[in-house]
Amino acid sequence: MQKQQETPPAARQLDTVLEQLTQALARHAPEEAAALFADDSYWRDLVMFTWNIRTLEGRDQIRDMLAQQLEGVAPVAFERDDTEPVSDDGQGLVEGWLRIETALARGYGHIRLKHGRIWTFLTTMSELKGHEEPLGVRRPMGAEHGIRRGRQTWQERRQQEQAELGTTRQPYVLIIGGGQGGIALGARLRQLDVPSLIIDQHARPGDSWRRRYKSLCLHDPVWYDHLPYIPFPENWPVFAPKDKIGDWLEMYVKVMELNYWSSTVCKRVQYDASSQAWEVEIERDGQTQILRPQQLVFATGMSGKPNIPKIAGQDVFKGEQQHSSQHPGPEAYAGKKVVVIGANNSAHDICAALWEAGADVTMVQRSSTHIVRSDSLMEIGLGDLYSERALAAGVTTRKADLLFASLPYRIMADFQIPVYDKIRERDADFYRQLEAAGFMLDWGDDGSGLFMKYLRRASGYYIDVGACQLIIDGSIKLRSRTDISHLTEDAVVLADGTALPADLVVYATGYGSMNGWVADLAGQEMADRVGKCWGLGSDTTKDPGPWEGEQRNMWKPTQQPALWFHGGNLHQSRHYSQYLALQLKAREAGLPVQVYGTQEVHHLR
């Protein structure tokens, strides 16, 4: 007779704490539940309890959230996922995975105990009861066997849906923007049977990538960049070029059966509080049309409209001027003199491509930039979660996403600083050569590197795929520790008086907040009501306080009813589309949604 394997002590400890938490919530005792958490504890909730994306910091915030939300979600059950190993560092830190069930939903989470009390607690909604996705054993049959008069084929049903949606039948959700964010959300909503429509100004899905500068490619690796439901194939390149991504997105729209209107421009949006619906004026193939969705999602990327600095003499300059988003590529500029203002990802990529095409290129670096080599980022920064090594160790994309999400933003920098210290040590000679060339480096206000700069909206970083060597050897000329004074007819004049002859000026100067699109389409009053998008409120460079603890206004309810924002990189488009889609489905299904802690609006500096 085989002896039953004994539960390890660390697993028993987790089981005990989770049972105590379940029992405290069953007794509707928020104070008792909060007492199970450490003094410096964090409960990060992705929709499951708060119908929001919120991090509760400390026992008082946890108690207050439970006091308000418990009645709407009870009964609640927590159970350790015994199919996953429990980690015990031998120093009092124990962590593991958990399954969650509430009255309305099922979820999954992660827990860390520090000396027997809950330190970090992640709860995420996986599915709504009665509205599960048709996955696995629930997948549709597809072909209808048997004989029946008048039945439609799949193709006929699809054509009918496409003909009706937006004309005789209104979408419940309208998504403005058809890049990776819009289509990831569209795919999630499709599986949840939420009538949704994506509109995009470009001629084809994927053109938002295809139309960018020639050398654009993904700077983070393939394992980090999958879309929902359809991962990239195993032979997909580690760093995919833009046109290959464009083709993939176009294929994805077709295969996932998304309702996608290309060549469609949104002209105006207005919310009718009495009908609780939007009036959206669009222009499609030259024809004006009105759509009336109940939910409106801006999926226009992480950023808003291009930032183009106002510089004296721009009206005098006789050459070309472009924002980096408008740069067509290097072919027309062989033998020309080009000044690129900025030192971010786009600036480096554009400078490198222009140099390859035979242009005389100067980069003007006005402020310091964080640089990390792509191979170091891949091996040290991402390798434990997103790599072939991680997959071999059982870290799936879903598990990697949840592990990353399990670290509250308040303490994430503490985990990132050692990573970038290691990168700085490994690539010390590379950084020494860059600085010798005059390049101004930084590692973020606290040394926490790339991810925290990205989350804090502190632009000025570059994942190096080769341009830095061109700066080091002088192939790309560099002017730093200065600013722009003015433009003449044929030159960019720096603050120190140096004149840089130019046939083309490229402004690689970033983008504004996503709520700039709201101001254009719905008016400044609504944009002000919503407030800025992105940033944590960390009170670091370009991320003014007060502390929000989550990305401002992203993937969650805003101060404007029925208005949502979805964006970010491919990782965020994949991960957060699930939680936004579940929030939208709950509303479409008429479930009792009680939002906790809607973001306040602050007049940011």
Flag whether 230 is in a domain: yes
Task: For residue 279, count other CB atoms closer than 10 A to its CB.
Answer: 14
* Phi, psi (rounded to 5 degrees) for 579: -75, -35
CATH number of the CATH domain containing 20 = 3.10.450.50
Let me know if residue 604 belongs to a domain: no
143 in a domain, yes or no?
Answer: no
Asked, for residue 152, whether it belongs to a domain, the answer is no
Whole-number Å distance between alpha carbons of 386 and 222:
8
User: Are 435 and 441 spatial neighbours (Cβ–Cβ below 8 Å)?
Assistant: yes
Do 209 and 107 fall within a single domain? no
* Strand 370-373 to 461-464 pairing: parallel
Specify the pLDDT at position 148.
82
For residues 221 and 264, membership in a common domain is answered with yes
Answer yes or no: do 164 and 280 share one domain. Answer: yes
514: closest CA among 237, 179, 162, 184?
179
For helices 397-405 and 570-588, the axis angle rounded to 10 degrees is 80
**Domain final residue, candidates 453, 487, 507:** 507
In a shared domain, residues 176 and 264: yes
Is the same domain home to 288 and 366? no
Within-domain flag for 141: no
Same-domain check for residues 67 and 193? no
Considering the domain architecture, whether residues 482 and 525 belong to the same structural domain is answered as: no
Q: Provide the token pair at 104.
A: 């309305």
* 248 and 350 share one domain: no
Domain count across the chain: 3
- Both 526 and 459 in one domain: the answer is no
Distance CA 424, CA 546 (A): 31
The answer to the question of residue 149 being in a domain is no
- pLDDT of 303: 60
Instruction: Please identify, among 463, 482, 507, the residue that sits at the C-terminal boundary of a domain.
Output: 507
Residue 352: give the domain boundaries.
320-507
Q: How far apart are CA 189 and CA 583, in angstroms?
A: 10
Q: Which of 468, 486, 507 is the last residue of a domain?
A: 507
- 151 within some domain: no
**pLDDT tens digits along 273-316:** 999 999 999 999 889 999 999 999 999 875 667 889 999 999 99
CATH code at 575? 3.50.50.60
Residues 494 and 528 in one domain: no
**What's the pLDDT score for residue 396?**
96
122 & 170 share domain: no
* Residues of the chain above pLDDT 90, percent: 86
**pTM as predicted:** 0.95
Instruction: State which residues of the chain have pLDDT below 70.
Output: 1-5, 302-304, 602-605
Residue 602: what pLDDT? 63
The reply to whether 4 falls in a domain is no
Q: Are 171 and 191 in a shared domain?
A: yes
